[in-house]
Structure 1
Amino acid sequence: MKPSAQIAIAAAVTAAVVAGVIARPYLWPGGETKHAHVVGQASAPAGPAIYYQDPDGKPFYSLTPKKTADGRDYRAVPRGADISFDDPEESAAAAPTGRKIKYYRNPMGLPDVSSTPKKDSMGMDYIPVYEGEDSDDGSVKVSPGKIQRTGVKSEPAARRVIRTTVRAPGTIQLDERRVSVIAMRAESYVQKVADVTTGAHVVKGQPLMEIYSPAISSAAAEYISTLNSKVTGGGEGAYGRGSRQRLMNLDVPEAAIVTIEKGRNVPIGIEWTSPRDGIVLERNVVEGMRAQPGETLFRIADHSVMWAIIDVAERDLGAMAVGQRVVVRARSFPGREFSGKISVIYPQIIKETRTARVRVELSNPELLLIHDMYVDAEIETGSGAAVLAVPESAVMDTGSRQAVLVDKGEGRFEPREVKLGHRGEGYVEIREGLADNDPVVTSANFLIDAESNLKAALKGFAEGTQP
């Protein structure tokens, strides 16, 4: 077929497409195949044929007379023929009786109406609009057949518990309350270092080193003198308590002070022990070195409890709350989960990444988690209280406004503006605009919305034509 002939056929058929006659399905429920019907076939069609159509009503067309594969002639379609793909029985059943025609609308869906019957430029009759079909309450009416064909479904708004899982990356950090630093408070000399290295696990009271300090020896001698004077009847008194306190101020371990009290001898070296169970993070001591006051000799951290610092996107910050459950998965241990709760939401935003940080305390009895390890977190947001919710598919969002279509029954649908809340698990919270058990359209709502927009435009033109 020549391109010009194809263009001519497409132009002839386009009118039917715009009018919505080709867009409807051929196969109807029940297994029957229903084809196009020419309305008013009993009367002789006026005018010459503008194209030819398959005699069975199939979507096959020709600009010239043509035969089917079994030798039957294509049907001539004149200019005045009115083509419809509606079921004649349904059309007859749906035709209003005893009602007044309000106006006639363009059969191609154009915003053109008339107060009297007329035809368009292609000879197609304008479609009557009856009173009651074009309601003033803002609702739109859809025929039962169209509801069935487009698959319109409704579901009542109901109260549900909505929970949303926020996924975010993070790192493991030390609990800053469980880190100890061992430093001398007076000039000292390291006489011996225990077999303890960086990364080793130590327990509270385990020997770390032996030191000699002139200041500690002087305080120990003074304390022993006080104890001896008490034995001879002088009594310890406030001076004796002050001597012991001086040893404590020099951070001498309690075990060493007890040894001095029992032996009544000034020790040459004091055994320094670990103040807690933990991992040795730093070991800055060697035998024979001089330790200056304040110099860090050991740094020990308890790994039984760790922090997960989670970087949450700024848009999710409003859903965060202290006490929410968090599941952390370490990339180093696939399949393992560590559970905790949000303990702190840090009050600042990292401007480079537009993220906020939340802190989660995690129990680490097997010492699997180590600081600076990467983890992935899942945070369960939302409260346990039930809220009014509808499926997310029911909401039509224009960006600035959100609306749903309320099913009023008998084919009528009312657009209703709503205010949304939390989303999760396929549902969205409705804070304003709906009540319990209000049925809302959950599928094909955009098709109904398109029809309501068309009817609104036609209604405006109809009002403009009235005197």
Structure 2
Amino acid sequence: MSTLLLLGAGLMLAGGGYWLGQQQAAHVPQAADAGPRILYYRNPMGLPDTSPVPKKDPMGMDYIPVFEHEPAAEPAGRILYYRNPMGLPDTSPVPKKDPMGMDYIPVYASEVTGPNQVRVSADKVQKLGVRTEAVQERDFSRNLRAVATLEPDEGALFSVAPRFEGWVERLLVKETGLRVEAGQPLFEVYSPELYAAAQEYRLAHRGLQRLAGGDEALRRGLAQLADSSLRRLQLWQLPEAELVRLRGGGEPSRTIAYPAPRGGTVLAKPVLEGARFMPGDELFRLADLSRLWLQVEIPEQDLALAEPGQPVSIGLEAYPGETFDGRVAFVAPVLNGDTRTLRVRVELDNPGGRLKPGQFAWVQLHHALGRGVALPDSAIIDSGRRRVAIIALAEGLYEPRELTTAGRHDGYWQVTAGVAPGERVVTSANFLIDAESNLMAALQGMNGGAGPEGAGDGREHDGHGGAPMVQDDGHDHGGHGSAPMVQEAGHDHGAMLAGEHAHAAQGGH
């Protein structure tokens, strides 16, 4: 009886064991039937959460299986370390198996990103339209195009202002804008002072002639009177022709034709016929327009472009397609505080009088800056406080770098530090790559930027190219389905492991 009881109990145990085995088998994926072996399952929303068995998230979405890499897909290069096949916080410097008999997965140097790097998959590179070009050197120059105004040469301006009192009897030049020659009469003037001084000179001169053999003292007095009268007439700028006539014994004229002291164009004529004028009143303003000034207003930030003697090109709307040459003659010593500009004077010849005072013109100033490293505008991310370029280190591997620049000229930035000739820089979609890099840095900063307790050497790792580290169910898993950073056998693999798993496990952005 006891034998039968024992036999029945054994059969029941065997049946129960068979049923339990079937239930477990239903939940264990079979690598032979399912193709590539499933390593673990990651959160469908990219959260830092993994599971060794299928499960659903709080929204009811299935966790995504992460398959073991096939040998043919493994990247070539030096093996840095081996990671746990289930995504557990465990690495090894040599090949080994986990407690379930699964081989640890090798991590290659080409898969690992540095502390300031970001890896983008090939399909994303294609979708984003990432383009790169080689960094080159070029000759830099600064060109400034500024608006200017033509003005008369101040050194060629002169005013007709008699030194005596009088009346304008008749105007001989009645219009502004007329060209007059030196010595050409401008107006006829009547001046009692001139007439009296001329009569005085005539009387003294005649007296000397009549007393040719007379008293010496009397002759001396008449000579002094004649000399003083003639001197007054000369100081009053009596025309030389009138002085010659008086010296020859001619009668003084009631009116005198006042000549132009030099040739030029009449710019102003404030006098009217019949008007009285006092000594020093301006009756005409003349200018020699054979040479003009061009007054240019240079912005404060471009002051280095203006140097005395520098050649400039000048163009006018009146003569399209034609340029005139000039040189910088003077740079003002004081900045205009209202407009924050500096006045620069350019002098140029005006053959034939084609250029007119008051015309607007544009001026092109050219300043050579030498040769240097050049990056196009499209390669620069300018935040206002710093400038960054995305460097393509390898296929799908990028690194943002802060640049030191010396200015922007003709669509290119002159770079003095941060990039070298021959490197490749991203010129398209660089904002998207930079955004990806900044996002990863922000995620790591939210989680402290370090691995689990006891792992590593206490150093913080930059978020660029690495996934954030969190604790989940006692296991520390990398963000986006990646493995955590740990230290084993005296090796700190934290930064390498974070960057590798962030994208190798298909959990990257």
User: If the length of structure 1 is used for normalisation, what is the TM-score?
Assistant: 0.62
Q: Give me the whole-angstrom Cα distance separating, in 1, the residues matched to 2:83 and 2:349.
A: 75
1:463 equivalent in alignment to 2:463: no
Distance 1:220 1:430, change over 3 A: farther
Q: Does the CA-based 8 Å contact 1:324-1:379 persist in structure 2?
A: no
Q: Which residue of 1 aligns with 2:189?
A: 211
Map 1:19-30 → 2, pairs under 5 A: none
Alignment of 1:109-148 (within 5 A): 115=89, 133-134=111-112, 136=114, 138-139=116-117
Percentage identity across paired residues of the two chains: 32
Name the structure 2 match of 1:295: 281
Match of 1:420 in 2: 405
Task: Give distance in 1, aligned partners of 2:443 and 2:110.
Answer: 15
Cα displacement (A) at 1:424: 1.9
What letter matches 1:272 in structure 2? Y
Q: Does 1:348 align with 2:335?
A: yes
CA distance in 2, matches of 1:44, 1:104: 10
Give the Å deviation of 1:448.
4.5
SS at match of 1:184: coil
Aligned length: 375
CA distance in 1, matches of 2:206, 2:107: 113
Quick check: 2:78–2:108 contact (8 Å CA) kept in 1?
no
2:353 aligned partner: 367
- Which consecutive unaligned segments of at least 5 residues does structure 1 have? 1-39, 47-76, 106-112, 118-126
| 1:308 alignment partner AA | L
Secondary structure at the residue paired with 2:336? strand
Distance in 1 (CA, whole Å) between partners of 2:382 and 2:238 is 70
Mapping for residues 79-228 of structure 1, pairs under 5 Å? 80=64, 92=73, 94=75, 98-101=79-82, 115=89, 133-134=111-112, 136=114, 138-139=116-117, 150-166=129-145, 168-220=146-198, 225=204
Q: Structure 2, unaligned stretches of length 5 or more?
A: 1-32, 40-60, 92-104, 214-218, 455-509
Shift of 1:399: 0.8
Q: 2:357 is paired with a residue of what secondary structure?
A: coil
Q: Which has the higher contact order (CA 8 A, sep 6+)?
A: 2
Structure 2 match to 1:443: 427
Q: Distance in 1 between matches of 2:308 and 2:391?
A: 38
Alpha-carbon separation, structure 1, partners of 2:432 and 2:309: 44
Alignment correspondent of 1:249 = 235
CA RMSD of aligned residues (A): 4.9
Aligned ranges for residues 52-91 of structure 1 at < 5 Å? Answer: 80=64
Shift of 1:380: 1.9
* 2:265 matches 1:271: no
Deviation, 1:184, is 1.8
**Preserved contact between residue 327 and residue 337 of structure 1 (Cα < 8 Å):** yes
Q: Quote how far apart the aligned CAs of 1:100 are.
A: 1.6
Structure 1 position 156, deviation (Å): 3.3
Query: Which one of the candidate residues 370, 376, 384 is aligned to 1:399?
Result: 384
Residue-by-residue CA offset, 1:398-447 (whole Å, 9 max, x unaligned) = 11012334566687655443332232222222345556x36351523445
SS at match of 2:80: coil
Go from structure 1 to structure 2 and tell me whether the alpha carbon gap of 1:139 and 1:438 turns closer, same or farther (over 3 Å shift): farther
Tell me, in whole angstroms, the C-alpha distance in 1 between the residues paired with 2:364 and 2:287.
Answer: 27
Residue type of the partner of 2:80?
Answer: R
Q: Give the match's secondary structure for 1:173.
A: strand
Q: Who is 2:27 aligned against?
A: none
1:13 is aligned to: none
Distance in 1 between the 2:125 and 2:253 partners? 97
Q: 1:309 touches 1:358 (CA, 8 Å); kept in 2? A: yes
Change (3 A) 1:441 1:271: same
- Cα distance change, pair 446–184 in 1 and its aligned pair in 2 (3 A): same
Distance 1:438 1:205 in 2: 73
In the aligned structure 1, how far is the partner of 2:298 from the partner of 2:324?
18
Aligned AA (1:198): T
When Rg is computed on C-alpha atoms for both structures, the one with the higher figure is 2
1:185-204: CA deviations, max 9, x gaps?
Answer: 11123333215422222122
The answer to whether the Cα contact below 8 Å between 2:139 and 2:369 also exists between their aligned partners in 1 is: no
Is contact 2:117-2:399 (8 Å) kept? yes
Distance 2:224 2:368 in 1: 59
